[in-house]
Amino acid sequence: MTLGSILSEVAAEEKTVVVYSPDDTGEDLAERLATRNLHVDHRKIPSISADAFVVVRDGSRFRGALSLSDLLVFLSPPIHRPEDLDSVDAAYRALFELLDQTVFVTLDRRQLLATSREIEDRAWRTGRGRLHVGFQSVAAFEAQAGLYRDLAATTDVDVHVYVPAGAPSGYLDDAPLTAHTDVDEDLARYWFILFDGHGEAGLPDGQTLADDGTESAQSCALIAEATGPDRYRGVWTYDPDRVARAFEAVT
Amino acid sequence: MTPVEDPRTDLSLDAGELEGAAGPPPDDLFKALASEKRRRLLAILTEQATISLDDLTDVLVGWEATDSGPAGPDEWARMKIELVHAHLPLLADTGLVVHDEAAGEVRLESVSDPIRDLLRFATEYERVVETGRSQPTDS
């Protein structure tokens, strides 16, 4: 399992979004969804309802339905997710699940940074678990290194930083984190930030990861690769299994 | 904006148009219309004469999601069961809808013009009450 194979695997799971609206509402949605791994269809509904809605299907399976306005909120990065998924309605959980595994193809650096911030915030709030982060450039590493130093010094989060070739040495020598300096070429292609809220070490005695339903709700990952100047393709995911596999791919 | 005919004028009933006993008994007819889901279902079928049961379920679940928030597969399964066991049999008994279970399709029964006008009126009435607009959104 590599980060590249995780990206390909997610890209293969295309979903269909059918937009139902009484008028032309949502016609521009295809453009907005072009950044995601979603195929868009349009259908008319009788105009009793003023509100457009969308139905998401995964092959022949119904995955979820929501109003168009709700969908647009969820599609805007950075990603917003309720803190405690157990407390939210089952339908909202389903919605997150269905929008989780979508690949974006045209995010820019600003949007990726916003999403990275969301994941880092979660690590701060959770205060434990594992955070592994890799950079595609020395400049990005230099800009962010201080933040990860603080995170490692202030919380119990086990921070691993994958230092890109050419970065000044000794940058993180005195920080309580693990700096990997021999990053192989395959890994160096990706901008990644992986977090889980537990880590085996963080669990109470006698509890295994399999028992742990709540903390795995904190699992999230962003994996992206540059496709051009300020253009990236990649995935963010909250799927605990997929996040676990991403950890395996980098460690 | 295009002027829309006042829907009330469509409802004048010439007894001849009913062609004898072509209409369901009034209690049955108005019971069919006395449910939001069935009115929505009939509104869908007056615009699209035939629809697969799965698509129909999609539309009704999505429509409901505009009022009550996102819906998942559980809501979908419940809606389909409700359609198959309650609403479609009732509408079939009333002679308004045919549920072809073998083909997985639902279609509007060929109803007389006054009945069709009544279904249109019900749609129009609901639109006015629900949205405060007397005609579809112009865009």
Q: What is the average pLDDT across B57-80?
A: 91
Residue span of the structural domain in which B73 resides: 27-131
Length of chain A: 251
Q: A216 with A240: CB under 8 angstroms?
A: yes
pLDDT at B139 over 50: no
Mean predicted lDDT score pLDDT of chain B: 83
Q: What is the CATH number of domain A3-102?
A: 3.40.30
Three-state DSSP class for residue B131: helix
Q: With CB atoms and an 8 Å threshold, state whether B63 touches A54.
A: no
Q: B83 with B77: CB under 8 angstroms?
A: no
- Name which of A25, A45, A64 is nearest B59 (Cβ-Cβ): A45
- Does a structural domain hold residue B82? yes
User: What are the residues of chain B with a beta carbon less than 8 Å away from any beta carbon of chain A?
Assistant: 39-40, 43-44, 46-47, 54, 57-59, 61-66, 69-76, 123, 126-127, 130-131, 133, 136-139
pLDDT at B63 over 80: yes
Report which of residues B78 and A203 the model is more confident about: B78
Gap between the Cα atoms of A208 and B12, Å rounded: 73
The CATH number of whichever domain residue B111 belongs to comes to 1.10.10.10
Per-residue burial over A130-167, b if 16 or more Cβ lie within 10 Å, else e, is bbbbbbbeeebbeebbeebbebbeebebbbbbbbbeeb
Sign of CA dihedral A213, A214, A215, A218: positive
Ramachandran quadrant class, B104 (left: phi over 0; alpha: psi -120 to 50; beta: rest) = left
- Does a structural domain hold residue B36? yes
- Does a structural domain hold residue B18? no
Delimit the domains of chain A by residue range.
3-102, 105-250
Question: According to the model, what pLDDT value does residue B55 have?
Answer: 93
Peptide bond preceding A78 in cis form (omega within 30 of 0): yes
- Does a structural domain hold residue B2? no
- Does a structural domain hold residue B61? yes
Question: According to the model, what pLDDT value does residue A36 have?
Answer: 64
- Name which of A55, A89, A94 is nearest B62 (Cβ-Cβ): A55
- Does a structural domain hold residue B9? no
pLDDT at B80 over 90: yes
Distance of residue B124 Cα from the nearest chain A Cα, in angstroms: 7
Three-state DSSP class for residue B128: helix
How many CB pairs below 8 Å do chains A and B form together?
Answer: 107
Q: What is the average pLDDT across B62-86?
A: 92
CATH topology of domain A105-250: Endonuclease; Chain A (3.30.870)
Q: Answer whether A3-102 and A105-250 agree in fold.
A: no
Number of domains in chain B: 1
Q: What residues contact residue A50 under an 8 Å CB cut-off, 6+ apart?
A: A22, B130, B131, B133, B137
Q: With CB atoms and an 8 Å threshold, state whether B62 touches A53.
A: yes
Question: According to the model, what pLDDT value does residue A87 have?
Answer: 46
In eight-state DSSP terms, residue B85 is I
Q: Which helix (H) or strand (E) holds A234?
A: strand A231-237
Three-state DSSP class for residue A243: helix
pLDDT at B8 over 90: no
Other C-beta atoms closer than 10 Å to the C-beta of B2 total 6
Over residues A123-151, the pLDDT tens digits come to 999 899 999 999 888 888 888 888 999 99
Lowest-pLDDT range, B5-9, B17-21, B98-102?
A: B5-9
Question: According to the model, what pLDDT value does residue B86 have?
Answer: 97
- Name which of A48, A57, A70 is nearest B123 (Cβ-Cβ): A48
Question: According to the model, what pLDDT value does residue A229 have?
Answer: 81
Question: According to the model, what pLDDT value does residue A199 have?
Answer: 54
Per-residue burial over B98-124, b if 16 or more Cβ lie within 10 Å, else e, is bbeeeeebbebeebeebbebbbbebbb
Tens of pLDDT, residue by residue, chain A (251 residues)? 889 888 888 777 777 888 898 877 777 776 666 656 677 888 887 766 668 898 988 777 888 888 888 777 666 655 555 444 454 555 555 566 566 555 565 677 887 888 888 889 989 998 999 999 998 888 888 888 889 999 999 999 999 999 888 888 777 778 889 989 888 888 888 999 999 987 544 455 555 555 444 556 688 899 998 888 878 888 888 778 889 999 999 98
Q: With CB atoms and an 8 Å threshold, state whether B73 touches A24.
A: no
Gap between the Cα atoms of A43 and B88, Å rounded: 23
Gap between the Cα atoms of A198 and A212, Å rounded: 9
Question: According to the model, what pLDDT value does residue B106 have?
Answer: 97
pLDDT at B53 over 60: yes
- Does a structural domain hold residue B137? no
Question: According to the model, what pLDDT value does residue B56 have?
Answer: 95
- Does a structural domain hold residue B46? yes
* Joined tokens for residue A205: 């005695």
Q: Which helix (H) or strand (E) holds A188?
A: helix A185-188
